[in-house]
């Protein structure tokens, strides 16, 4: 695996408007709405986890949104825009080429991160922000139970 195949898209262009600049500044790295809803649902189901941590045995810079230690499951909650969701990920009209390179780099980094965490013996689960917390929790809970029983692939 390459040491992150991320390609720098070049200098960050200025925001297309003051409103865009404000939104970008306020976008947090953790505790997003979709993350909080998923964590609340998982906790209500009795699942216990760590938040915003590196996977043991992986790159310390790669931080997982939700880490279930016992079953060795690493969960990422991906925003549709930042992770190029095929259903909802749209390229901005302003600075389109720069954003295309930037978002392609994020997808490559995600792929590298997934491969690295898998190689360390963990199961990677990607939850898209548009996936409801109950649906995502159903999937994660099923995987936890499978791994506990040893029936996972």
Instruction: Give the model confidence (pLDDT) of 95-142 as tens digits.
Output: 889 889 999 999 999 999 999 999 999 999 999 999 999 999 999 999
| pLDDT tops 70 at residue 8 | yes
Per CATH, domain 30-149 is 3.40.50.970: no
CA–chain centroid gap for 87, Å, is: 16
Sign of CA dihedral 35, 76, 86, 29: positive
Give me the residue spans of the domains in the chain: 30-149
Q: What is the reported pLDDT for 1?
A: 46
Answer whether 119's CB lies under 8 Å from 107's CB. no
Instruction: Please name every residue paired with 76 in a beta bridge, in sequence order, or none if there are none.
Output: 126
pLDDT at site 60:
81
Say what the pLDDT of residue 86 is.
Answer: 87
Distance of CA 15 to the CA centre of its chain: 24
Cα separation, 119 vs 36, whole angstroms: 28
Task: Map residue 126 onto helix, strand or coil.
Answer: strand
Question: What are the tens digits of pLDDT across the range 41-83?
Answer: 999 999 999 999 999 888 788 899 999 999 999 999 999 988 8
């Amino acid at each position: 695996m390459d040491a992150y195949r991320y390609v720098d898209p070049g200098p960050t262009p200025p925001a297309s408007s003051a409103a865009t600049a404000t939104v970008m500044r306020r976008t947090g790295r953790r505790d997003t709405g979709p993350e909080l809803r998923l964590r609340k649902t998982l906790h209500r189901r009795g699942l216990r986890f760590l938040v915003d941590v590196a996977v043991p045995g992986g790159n310390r810079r790669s931080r997982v949104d939700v880490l279930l230690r016992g079953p060795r499951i690493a969960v990422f909650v991906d925003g549709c825009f930042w992770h190029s969701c095929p259903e909802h990920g749209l390229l901005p009209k302003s600075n389109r080429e720069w954003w295309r390179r930037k978002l392609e780099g994020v997808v490559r980094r995600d792929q590298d991160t997934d491969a690295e965490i898998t190689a360390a013996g963990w199961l990677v689960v990607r939850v898209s922000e548009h996936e409801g917390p109950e649906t995502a929790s159903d999937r994660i809970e099923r995987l936890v139970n499978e791994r506990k029983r040893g029936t996972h692939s």
